[in-house]
Structure 1
Amino acid sequence: MDNAKEHGTPQHSPYRLQLLGPVAAWREGRTVDLGPPLQRAALCVLAVRAGRIITKDTLIGGLWGDRPPNTAEQSIYTYIAGLRRVLEAEPGRRGPYSTLISRSRGYVLERGTVEADVGDFERHLAEARRLQATGDPRGVLRALEAATECWSGPALCGVPGPFAEAERVRLEELRLTAMEDRAGALLDLDLHQEAVTTLTELVAEAPLRERTRDLLMLALYRSGRQADALDTYLDVKRLLAERLGVDPGEALRERYELILRADPSLDPAQSETTPGGTQPRPPRQLPRAATGFVGRVEELVRLRSLLTPWDGGVPQAVVAITGAPGTGKSALAVQAAHTAAHAFPDGQLYVNLLGATPGVERLEPIGVLGRLLRALGLEGKAVPSEEDEAAAVLRDRLDGRRTLILLDDAAGPEQVRSLLDLPSGNTVLITSRESFSMADDCVRLVLRRMRRSEGVTVLSKLVGAERISADPAAVSHLVELCGGLPLALRLAAARLGERPDWSVRDLGGRLEDRRRTLHELEAGQIAVRSSLELSYEALARGGALDRLAARTLCHLGVLPVASVTADVVAALVGEPADAAERALDRLVRAHLLETGEVGRYQPHDLVRLFTIELANTHLTPQSRKDALMRALGFYGATTRHASTLLDPHRVHSPWPDVPQRPLALGTPAEARAWLNKELPHVISAASQAMASEDDEIARLGAYVGFALIWELTRGTHLREHLSLSRQALKVGERIGDQEILPLAHMQLMWALIAVNRPAEALPHQEAELGLRRAQGDRFGEMRALGNLGLVHLHLERYAEARECTEAQRVIAREIGSQVGERHSLLTGGSACLGLGEMSAAIALLGEAVTLAEAAGDHYHECDGLLTLARIYLERGEPLTAQRHLDRALSHARELSHVKNECEAFIMLARAHRLLRAPEPALACALEALAIGQRSGDEHLCRQAEDELREIGEAFPVWRSRRRASRRMR
């Protein structure tokens, strides 16, 4: 048979490449010899990323991972030369080349020179998604059948290397999803029995996929087989419990309940969902439109023409609403988005980018992409960690759809660059203070001051037409004084509402006086500042609550955090929490603060800047310092208390004698909830304090950072941990504080160990040990010795590690430190393991685990169990290792210790692999990889990826499946 016909070789491309099966190539119908396996692997890397520069390092990593041979670079040259011999039109020449081209940073396989079945497969998938959006199930079925026809066996079969392994996993997931979508299309066409046949085969191939089971249950039920549908659920419930120790997901449980009671919604005529009745409704994330929105008529008409063109054409790809602060960009964008929502049936998404929020870190592009992908239904663990990859997945998800994405408060084009190239039919609506004139395919709408007539309308709407119409000249003048800015107009209207005895002319006179003091500022900012200052002074001259609210507003400018609670403000102002809460609520009513989630308050961006000015002008330097010290005292004391509740066995750094008492947290759950919400604010406050030139403020900021050590060590804030530790060391060195210096060295050691840089950690731990000995601090010396042993352990200096831990144990027993003794046993056991002394390692670790269990120290118990499990895995006893790992995983989750949880999953994956259980092995390895990616720990990610590679090599079985080739009736 002619291979070109069999594999669909196109006439316009001389080469046809098969990747969805045994890797092979044809040129004009004749088979091409692609060379040895690693040369084929290099071609796969280039072909999958055709048109993009692939660096030499990328090729080496794709073929050998992080352990390439010494000859790797020369081998790459050899493989490129070999590929050119078979791919170039005139083989044997020394260039110039037209197919596989050299670039300064690597190589490029030109687009269009090689046609691959992967491209056909993905094009058919995109066509299916497009047809799905238009409600054409027959077209969807045809496209998905064409997609599955592209496969001839396991993807990249016979190709070695990490890239091939990762690509196999990705393509296999796409194939299984396509088969599920095909079954969903059959259900939509009432071809229930055909769906049952397809899904039964798919369940045999992938028995733990819950969506497959869900569709099969629905297909069986609609085929009149209710009992079989229920049995399908019970079967997967048993499998999940046996292999993974988990229950079915919520969707599967709901399907079971519906089938159990024969709910009418399961009938095809009653189903309002898409493919197979499983697709959730599109996201609707837009904030509520302002009920009192007036004005901006021309801008709204312009936006409507861009978002919903009169001729029915595709909407504008990118629209940016730009302008000065306070011009009402966000309100206009939300209003326009609601008006055009009907033209975007596949969803409306919203993200506040925090681009111009003073003192608050803006969202990173990868964070924005992650939020959007999760809103579109992608599971968190499936969201890529690299910006380019995540942007590609988003484009893939939106292909053939109509979706509106509102990105509020962008710092500039660079923050959203990866979102400006979405498929046609989707629109990105952006608000920003920065110019978007250089953004591609972007229409800018520059929002300027309101017209006088619109400003009058705004005041009339907010204050009342009768009062406004009484003095038209004064109203016009008031609009001018407010600079035509909606924020200023709204605040002026609020003041008139609070003071019914004032005329519009009275308020105008007050604003006019304030303008003279701000003559150097821009007109728009003059009006906003005037309104804000007027509102503040009205509170300052009011009753007791108003005066407390005014004082609170002043003090908010002292603390540089994104949002506050009443408890924090109580410390800041020096008042009881209930009084602080009443003052905050009064500021909300005065439109000077906003509320987000319950119990949290934040100022508008311009108000935030105004509070800083208030603090500098209305509080003395000593008052500002006292307020900040009180807030830092509260943050540090509560952080320390919460950490103690979560793990009472950990030794905390000394805490200075401050009058602030910690928040009354009663349970570990309350402590965890407080830390989860306040951690970014505590980090920000500590960092800002350590940057202060005032030694007392900087010193207390360092101690707040020390209070965070256990939360940072067990969590995912690696960058913040490193930054705070370095700041603390600088503070200690600057002021010569002999208490801060050893603590800072120790904390910096922990931070460097967390990012896998033990060589840099060593001098800091040696410095701490020297300081502790010079101070005669026996407990400090004992702990420093233990930590030094830990650093040696990470450096694989096992003899030195054991020597340190033995010295630590002597002092620990001398001073009666049980936690120190447990630490020495754990580190000593690991050192013996590194030295190959298995029996000694097991004895030391077993003693440590026994002591930790008796003391209720789950942190040390978890550490010991993990190391014992590692030993038993090395000894070929996976069942014993699994029992230890199950206990360790439970403790790690209880403690929210991300690193230990990830390591437990990695070793569980290995244990299941050794027990020849591929499904739970893969599930555990994927969970470990997801945890590693969320934490940003590259070392953990590499370990998880290595285990995934081992699993792939251990179970290379491709179960036979029936090709989906039925034709439509």
Structure 2
Amino acid sequence: MRFMVLGPLQIVVEGEPRPSLGKTAAILAVLLLNRNLPVSTGRLIEAVWGEEPPRTALRQIQNRIAEIRGLIAGDPHCNLETIGSAYRLRVGPGHIDVDRFESGCAYARSLVDEGSPVEALAMYDRTLALWRGPAFAGLEGALIESGADVLEESRMEAVEERLDLLLRLRRFDQAATEARALLAEHPFRERLVCQLMIGLHATGRTAEALEAYETLRRALADALGADPGPHARRTHLDLLRGNLDLHNPTTGPRSKPRRPPLPRQLPAPVPGFVGRTAELARIDARWSARDGKGPLAIAITGIGGAGKTALGLEWARRRLADFPDGQLHADLRAGDDPADPLAVLHGFLRALGTHPTDLPDDRGQAAANYRALLADKRVLIFLDNARDADQVRPLLPGEGGSAVVVTGRGRLDRLRHVSDVVAVELAELPEDDAVALLRRLTGDTTAKRADAAAVAAHCGGLPLALRIAAGLLDERPSLGLAGLAKRLGDGSLWRAGERDQIARVFDLSYAGLDDAERRCLRDLALLPGADIGEPTALRLAAATGGDADRVLDSLAAAHLLRIGADGRLRLHRLVAEYARAKAPATADEERALRERAVAGFRDLRAPAPLEEYGFLTAAYRAWAAFPEGAVLADVLCGFAKRGHRPEELERLGEDALAAAGPDPGRLARHRNLVAVAAYARGALAKAEEYSRAALDAVERTEHGDRFGAARANLATALARLGREQEALPLLNAALAAAAAAGRDADAAAMGMTLGWLHYRMRDFAAAEQALATALGRFERGGDAAGAREVHAHLVEVYRAWGRHTQARASLRRIAGS
């Protein structure tokens, strides 16, 4: 696909122009004039409607943008990006006729400098043939006309340089004829007048040459009140004195050997940059501490949309004075069509003054030439969107005071082997910075902070999502941040278009995953909660059929999964949403996932670690209606028994009961959680109520209270309420059930409770017998902690019984263990 702007605007595909663009042409024209740079929505509206846009202007712009995206879809060399409320049309080198015109003129000038005027003239002829008429012919508007004027001036400069070549080649009559025709359209171009004067004089028409000068003088005086410039006056004077040198005619100041202009390729900074203070300070510290012997590579990595390019450009903007020899920039296009390092090197070499015919075809030689050109310079090289270290390595300078900013979604660790590297990994913005960015982008400084914070939370602190959200307010400014927070909460403003913008950012990382990694990412995204423990993640990763450690490491390397210093694994909320949408799970897959996630906690021989509390409670809320939720109720009882947040667990159990349905087994487990939590916080009457209800439900199941747990819980609550006589038969029956079922650990705990109950009833002999039996079970099971607790109860029993020798013996057993 090629864009043709040197004449009527056209899009040409495989040599065939696309149909007329209609009103879309004006928008495309402004984007092409500012290609590879962001163009605000306001400038696009101004280009189409001037100072009086219709009320629907924003919607019409969005529709036209969608139309342009449709026109260029599938072309790897151009892409239309949304950047907050701005748009950037990326166009690959050579895919717009302006690029070919400019490179052709540069080549022709180099031929002139090398003393090859015939070849230069042929090159000018081919280059000027690219023009099919005035630039952007047929399009109106101040922005477009201004850009067209700049292009027309470039064309006229090339035309005049070509006429100079005709004079040098002594084709005087042709030069005079063409100059006279051009002056009919451009009567004030003094260089054309000089060329006409020389051509006429050389063909024996000196009187006409003098008249050409007089015509120019009168026209300038009448129109501008000015005289001809110094070179026109000098040419006129030489003509009068007969001093005009026809063997070396020149119509302008004698040219000097051309030095290539300093490359200034850095894109404009991303609007509205905020925060990242620590990251900028870290980069500055390493830059200031460099030894100057070699370049510093600044590797900025992170999740897509985290603002890696924005951070790099912001640091570059602040440090431009450190790079007096210019800036180079390349989009390395990580993804299915990554940039070839040799092609990037060719672009850099041309920018540094290498003639196109001198570009090596060998990548190693091109890299060597590149390093040689940069050896004594201080240049900033910005390599955006890198795939990996292998793609970047040939583009690193060899020595000197240059810096290389590299951004990418994957790890760039291997750059350390070839360069001094400062690695910066970006996460989402902290809430304060996210709120500040929203306020700056929307201009809404009066909204409540809570509303801005709510929008930031819905966007997960991701700068890209925050810019998209701010763009939504351009369409509906009456919403304000408060209204936007509400709409984002119910999802009504996350239309397909906005979701697609975010999805495109994650697609690059997702494309590099294999099937096992994709499935693992989806399964992790289906889990509730803010973070995931490593054992759970490894269990899910192993179920994909891949090597579990490798799968998780690959997701972390792609910055789709973050592993915190605490060892917990976290997915950004938008990554999780993306993964769920990318590979929707079936009901059977979701059930299998719940079973795998719960199995690890169900099978624990010890209470679940405290760091799993957040995940387990989130899973319990989400899965209360499923059998796995009931299993988690048993797991959460362990937290309540340790006194960890019993009030919250009690509420969670009550909420789960509302969603649990009529199944008596599930009801029993949820009621039991409420009972255990109420007991832990001292709400004994409620503990009795829910323990009794749990027992009622479990007795309606197929196997009833076969392990005795429900009866034991009710007995414990009754005992604490002082109703020992009611508790005793229940506890004896529970203990017998547990022992018969071979549940020695449960029987040991119940036996200890039974001994405590007899102690409260002052039946010390029965207490001793129950505790001795429980002690044997704990010791056979290797439960030293349980055994110590039994001895502690025995100490109390023996002291109350007056058997101090036995009490001391139990104390020694406690001390010795």
TM range (shorter): 0.3 to 0.5
Q: Structure 2 length normalisation: TM-score?
A: 0.32
Q: Structure 1 length normalisation: TM-score?
A: 0.28
